[in-house]
Amino acid sequence: MNDVSLGALRVSPQGLGAMGMSAFYGTRDEAEAIATLNRAVDLGVTHIDTAEAYGPYENEKLIAKALGARRDEITIATKFALDFENGAVMDGSPAHVRRAVERSLRHLEIDVIDLYYLHRVDPDVPIEETVGAMADLVTAGKVRHLGLSEAAPATIRQAHATHPIAAVQSELSLFVPDLLHNGVKDVLDELGIGLVAFSPIGRGLLSGAIQKVDDLDPDDARRTLPWFTPENIAANRHLVDRVSAVAADRGATPAQISLAWVAAQGAVAIPGTKRRRYLEENAAAMEITLTAAELKALDEAVPAGSVTGARDTPAGLARNHL
């Protein structure tokens, strides 16, 4: 398959979000996770997304264990923001930038990180200071490209003026099309910055597999999110059914159609999964190009403002710099 551009970085047209293999999404199976990561590379899904916060640290260590021998075949993206060594406080200071990159390099067992994100913007540190310190890592050869996550248009401009930003990662799905309308996508297109979409299947809801809250593991962190209350799952089920109808007409799954919609917005999706069977289903979406009629049908299936509930908790939304 042909790679696509995130700024000056070339990546596979779909990535793999590895978070759930180590944290947040219920039960974990290391052997299956390792098999899934290797199967991804075999399928050409070589853009692997992780972060310090996933564990913390455990997901980066898993990537090293699973793919250490395949380093030259993959693009590794990781993120920093919270300082877990000092109470898990948000810290975008240059000193923390320098500490965090050394931790990630050590846990990933690599010499250079392909794409290094500021996971969330620290409102108490000027973005020019944080990105300036990240730029020093590029000069030192420890990082190849820089990224931001959940950043506002003005912040993106300030960061990019300090050092070229290759990618901005934000939540984007049929359920969360916000950044297509809040100026973020316009700024990215203007500046030539790539868009990486996390939770492109609506945190699993758009797969159609979650019909009730008890379909989630007892320790699945999604149980704490507004979308996953029994009332909101029930309220949003008809929207998923509409997406499923469009998918059925195409001979695809609703997850595949959701991923194809994200690709049609010019974004690189990083769907997360812990299992090979879902990875293979997701990867097949790269072969789907939606028609104008299908895109219109999907926009009508999930009209703006029709999703019941917020995508995250108030505390989680407050960390976003949008």
| 44 neighbors 10 (Cβ within 8 angstroms) | no
- Cα separation, 31 vs 29, whole angstroms: 6
Strand partners, 165: 146
Strand partners, 76: 48
- Return the amino acid letter for 21: M
Closest CA to 111 of 155, 141, 83: 141
What are the backbone angles phi and psi of residue 269, rounded to the nearest 5°? -80, 145
pLDDT at position 321? 65
Strand partners, 90: 82
- Cα separation, 94 vs 41, whole angstroms: 34
pLDDT at position 69? 98
- Cα separation, 196 vs 47, whole angstroms: 11
Q: How far is CA 14 from CA 86, 224, 265, 310, in A?
A: 35, 28, 13, 26
Burial class (CB within 10 angstroms; exposed 0-12, middle 13-18, buried 19+) of 169: buried
Q: List CB contacts of 127: < 8 A, sequence separation 6 or more.
A: 92, 121, 155, 158, 159, 162
Distance of CA 208 to the CA centre of its chain: 20
**Per-residue 3-state assignment (H helix, E strand, C coil) for 78-124:** EEECEEHHHCCEECCCHHHHHHHHHHHHHHHCCCCEEEEEECCCCCC
R_g over Cα of the chain: 19
User: Residue 5: in which H helix or E strand, if any?
Assistant: strand 4-6
| 8 neighbors 166 (Cβ within 8 angstroms) | yes
Q: List CB contacts of 299: < 8 A, sequence separation 6 or more.
A: none
Which residues carry out catalysis?
Answer: 54
pLDDT at position 322? 55
Burial class (CB within 10 angstroms; exposed 0-12, middle 13-18, buried 19+) of 82: buried
Closest CA to 13 of 35, 46, 41: 46
pLDDT at position 319? 81
- Return the amino acid letter for 6: L
Q: List CB contacts of 205: < 8 A, sequence separation 6 or more.
A: 175, 227, 233, 236, 240
pLDDT at position 1? 64
- What residues does each domain of the chain span? 4-203+262-287
CB atoms within 10 A of CB 73: 11
| 227 neighbors 233 (Cβ within 8 angstroms) | yes
Distance of CA 265 to the CA centre of its chain: 15
Instruction: Return averaged pLDDT per consecutive 10 residues of the chain, 322 residues in all.
Output: 92 98 93 98 98 97 98 98 94 98 98 98 98 98 98 98 98 96 97 98 96 94 96 96 98 98 98 97 98 98 95 85 60
Written as six digits, the tokens of 101 are 């990159």
Triad 289, 9, 5: Cα angle to 5°: 25
CATH 3.40.50.9100 assigned to domain 4-203+262-287? The reply is: no
